[in-house]
Amino acid sequence: MSAQRQRSASSRPSQRVFWARRLLVGGTLFAVLFGVGRFLLAEGGPDTGQQATAAAAKTKGGSDQQSSQAQVFGPQPVPFDSLGAPTASAIAEPEIPSSGPCSDSAITATPEVVDAVAGRPVVINLKLTGTLPACSFKAGPKTLAVKITSGKDPIWSSMDCPRSIPSREVVVRAGTPAVVPVHWSGRRSDEDCSKQPSWALPGFYHVEAATLGSVPSDVQFEVKSPTPRVIVKTQKPKPDPMPDGQDPRTLPAPID
């Protein structure tokens, strides 16, 4: 009995050997788990890195955009539609006030005939422009002269008809012309500016205009023929003639 106990005690490992075995098993298990983890990390590493890089870039881009928006100072541009169309007063340039009287020789008078028809009065617009930005000019028969010719044949002159040019004070500008209307009767003129001379015939004429002391401007224009009036006459129906010269008033009344 004592011999059997001694054999069982000698076959049981010692405590030192027991802990050594446990450490060996634990180390082997740790090595296996570590190797499996390295393998899994090696397989998913590039995708994970790219995702991380993309996420970082997106975060950086968003932060850069926010920072760029936050760094804008001063007034911001406003769409044109929200402002509406500009008004005519905002577009038009302010008029320059007159700086004083104009010199007659520094003003150019350019005639313009819009519509001239034979047998009717004609309006000749004188466009006055100057060399100064703005100056005042007294328009009238004493400062302006207009004449109409056909070749060497004198037709009409404002010297014969001074009332054709109205007397008024205008502001003459370098950019925008001042307009003075001259009224031509459409007839030839004489010394008394009477209505006896004949009408100017259809054709081409020359009109010259100038301020006293300046070079005249010559413009050709046409006097057109008037459009003939079309008169439509409605004829009344005539009664049918009666046979044998019988008077229709003597016929008996119709019987119903």
Q: What is the mean pLDDT of each run of 10 residues along the chain (256 residues)?
A: 49 65 74 70 54 50 49 46 48 58 89 94 96 91 96 96 96 91 96 91 97 92 90 73 60 60
Domain membership flag for residue 243: no
- In this prediction, residue 232 carries a pLDDT of 77
Residue 184, judged by CB atoms within 10 A of its CB (0-12, 13-18, 19+), counts as buried
- In this prediction, residue 30 carries a pLDDT of 73
Looking at the fold, whether 214 and 124 belong to one and the same domain comes out as yes
> Can you tell me the distance from the alpha carbon of 134 to that of 173, in angstroms, rounded to the nearest whole number?
4
Domain membership flag for residue 233: no
Looking at the fold, whether 22 and 122 belong to one and the same domain comes out as no
- Per the structure, how many domains does the chain have? 2
- The CATH number of the domain holding residue 203 is 2.60.40.2360
> Can you tell me the distance from the alpha carbon of 204 to that of 21, in angstroms, rounded to the nearest whole number?
134
> Can you tell me the distance from the alpha carbon of 42 to that of 81, in angstroms, rounded to the nearest whole number?
59
Question: For the chain, how far is it from start to end, CA to CA, in angstroms?
Answer: 173
Q: Which residues lie closer than 8 Å to 170 by C-beta, 6 or more apart?
A: 128, 136, 137, 139, 178, 180
Looking at the fold, whether 116 and 219 belong to one and the same domain comes out as yes
Strand partners, 137: 170
Residue 176, judged by CB atoms within 10 A of its CB (0-12, 13-18, 19+), counts as middle
Show the domain range for 36. Answer: 15-58
> Can you tell me the distance from the alpha carbon of 242 to that of 204, in angstroms, rounded to the nearest whole number?
61
Looking at the fold, whether 152 and 214 belong to one and the same domain comes out as yes
Domain membership flag for residue 42: yes
Domain membership flag for residue 184: yes
- pTM of full prediction above 0.95: no
Looking at the fold, whether 42 and 130 belong to one and the same domain comes out as no
Looking at the fold, whether 54 and 111 belong to one and the same domain comes out as no
Alpha-carbon distances of 18 from 5, 10, 13, 235, rounded to whole Å: 20, 14, 7, 148
Domain membership flag for residue 239: no
Looking at the fold, whether 38 and 128 belong to one and the same domain comes out as no
Domain membership flag for residue 86: no
Looking at the fold, whether 125 and 217 belong to one and the same domain comes out as yes
> Can you tell me the distance from the alpha carbon of 222 to that of 239, in angstroms, rounded to the nearest whole number?
52
Q: What DSSP string runs through 28-57?
A: HHHHHHHHHHHHHHHHHHHHHHHHHHHHHH
Q: To 5 degrees, how large is the angle CA 221–CA 225–CA 229?
A: 150
